Amino acid sequence: MEQRSQWGTRAGFILAAVGSAVGLGNIWRFPYVAYENGGGAFFIPYLFALLTAGIPILILEFTMGHKYRGSAPLSFFRLGGKKAEWLGWWAIFVSFVISTYYAVIIAWAMKYTVYSINQAWGDDTAGFLFGTVLKLGDTPGEAGGLVPGVALPLLLVWVIAFIILFAGVKKGIELANKIFIPTLVVIFLLVVIRAVTLDGAGLGLTAFFEPNFSQLSNPKVWVAAYGHIFFSLSIAFAIMITYSSYLPKKSDITNNAFITGFANSAFELLAGIGVFAALGFMAAQQGVAVSDVASAGVGLAFVVFPQIISEFPGMNGLFGVLFFLSLVLAGLTSLISICETYVAGFSEKFGISRNKAVAFGVGLAAVISFLFATNGGLYFLDVADYFINQFGIAAIGLIEVIAIAWFFKKLPLFEEHANAVSDIRLGAWWQICLKFVTPLVLGYMMFGLLKLNLLKQHTDGDGNIIGNYEGYKDSFILYCGWFVAAGVIILGFIFSALKWN
């Protein structure tokens, strides 16, 4: 048996945890979620979710990893035997699925870094993305052929991931984060500073920060805050348990969790400012309202931002390169963390070396990821992401806190463990949040999500009911959505039934 890996320094661990947390979600998800859910007033539910669920669960997961010193399944096994182990596998398979398409988005960002140099997208940025780059097919649910223009950068993403993961925890993951994260911060600060000094930036910032307090009475806003915090902090994905299992015995837990949580939020706020300043600039250029250009996700990063870059008053190329490079760096450090969950899990379960686990686990993820580099790739990515996120996060988070707090009754033990090593002592608030507040909000959230999807009550932008998510046909939702969401649970049971080697 190899000796268990360890982080070299405290800063190395924090940078790796922040590297996992800070990802595409901060840049392309947070600004829009905040804007849509009350603007400036969103900070109230956001902070509430951060302090009652985000940081408490981060502390919980750091404590678990540090105490049981194992991958997520091994830590859960040590916590509660086979009855608990499957939860760790479930989280790992959710991470596995995410890694297969997260890599693809990084590949697009790489392409766009290069396209930025001379704004290769021309005037029709949407047509360029869907037609020229992704070569999107007409029928959602059909793969079509491989798109070499996406497949090649995707290969490069996996090569980088392989190099970092093969090099190990200290010499690979820690070193990569020590280089990537400070670089990311500098690059992104440049992007934001340039954005807020553009004409019309103020317009965007006003739209972003304007508080709409009446929205706070809408439960949807609170659910959005909780959902975002889970995704953004990479909790309930097995990631933070895995990373903290590499902490040396004498390591702070509570303070590290606060630092990670606040660093992620600071980055998010910065992204909100930068993105909306840039949107304000574009709205002013085109003489339209900010609400007409605001969007999230693929559309924001790969359709709207290219437009902004094209309209830039000088040094367009540089701004574009820095923006897409931020996406690449933020994405890579998150991808590494997702992959590490199953590298650790496979290697411990089957008693194989770390390198074998990288070769098999990450190799398999890489192969599967090429499905998303086909003509139908974007549709697959869209549905898989929707289902895996919606049901993965809320459900695993909910079951994790209920299992640990109520079923195995481990919170007092964990509190003692964390207090013994940490600068900050946990008070009663920590157990109250995990026992009551989080399960109640997550339970409500889960119920709403199930109802929405089972009754097919999704609406389009104008509020008309369109049935399934995005109006996709039933068969596609079934095999790409429900089967995947159920598949990761079934795989979880199968793997936990196998013997530890």
Provide, rounded to whole angstroms, the least separation between the CB of residue 286 and Na ion: 30
Phi-psi region of 88 (alpha: psi -120 to 50; beta: other; left: phi over 0): alpha
Say whether residue 25 binds Na ion (CB under 5 A): yes
Site for Na ion in 104-163 (CB under 5 A): none
Examine residue 54 and tell whether it contacts ligand PHE (CB under 6 A): no
Residue of 52, 63, 113, 232 interacting with Na ion (CB under 5 A): 232
Question: Within positions 12 to 41, which residues make up the interface with ligand PHE, using CB under 6 A?
Answer: 20-21, 23-26
Q: Is 337 in the site for Na ion (CB under 5 A)?
A: no
Q: Which residues pair with 39 in a beta bridge?
A: 211
What 3-state class would DSSP assign to 39? strand
Nearer to ligand PHE by C-beta: 307 or 337? 337
Residue in this structure with the two tokens 């984060």, named with its chain if needed: 177
- Residues 361-420 binding ligand PHE (CB under 6 A) are none
CA 270 to chain centre: 17
Closer residue to ligand PHE (CB): 17 or 64: 17
Q: Among 239, 220, 221, which residue's Cα sits nearest to residue 57?
A: 239
Size, binding site for Na ion by CB under 5 A: 5
Q: Could you say which of 16, 20, 26, 348 contacts Na ion (CB under 5 A)? A: 26
To Na ion, the closest distance from the beta carbon of 50 in angstroms equals 11
Tell me how crowded residue 429 is: count the other CB atoms within 10 A of its CB: 12
For residues 58 and 98, which CB has a smaller minimum distance to ligand PHE in the complex? 98
Q: Which are the contacts of 22, defined by CB distance < 8 A and separation ≥ 6?
A: 181, 184, 263, 264, 267, 330, 333, 334
Of 231 and 379, which has the nearer Cβ to ligand PHE? 231
Interacting partner of 334 out of ligand PHE, Na ion, none (Cβ under 5 to 8 A depending on kind):
ligand PHE
- Shortest approach of ligand PHE to residue 74 CB, angstroms? 19
* Residue 98 binding partner per list Na ion, ligand PHE, none, with a CB distance cut-off of 5 to 8 Å that depends on partner kind: ligand PHE
- The Cα 412–Cα 40 span in angstroms is 37
CA distances from 57 to 159, 435, 445 (A): 33, 11, 17
Which residue's Cβ lies closest to Na ion?
232
Residue 53 binds ligand PHE (CB under 6 A): no
Beta-carbon contacts of residue 307 (< 8 Å; ≥ 6 apart): 125, 282
Asked if 231 interacts with ligand PHE (CB under 6 A), we say yes
Instruction: For the beta carbon of residue 193, count every other beta carbon within 10 angstroms.
Output: 12
Contact positions with ligand PHE (CB under 6 A) in 310-369: 334, 337-338
Q: CA-CA distance, 15 to 184, in Å (whole number)? A: 12
For residue 458, with 0-12 CB atoms within 10 Å meaning exposed, 13-18 middle and 19 or more buried, which class applies?
middle
Per-residue binding letters, 248-287, with Na ion (x by CB under 5 A): ----------------x-----------------------
Residues of this chain that interact with ligand PHE (CB under 6 A) are 20-21, 23-26, 98, 231-232, 234, 237, 239, 334, 337-338
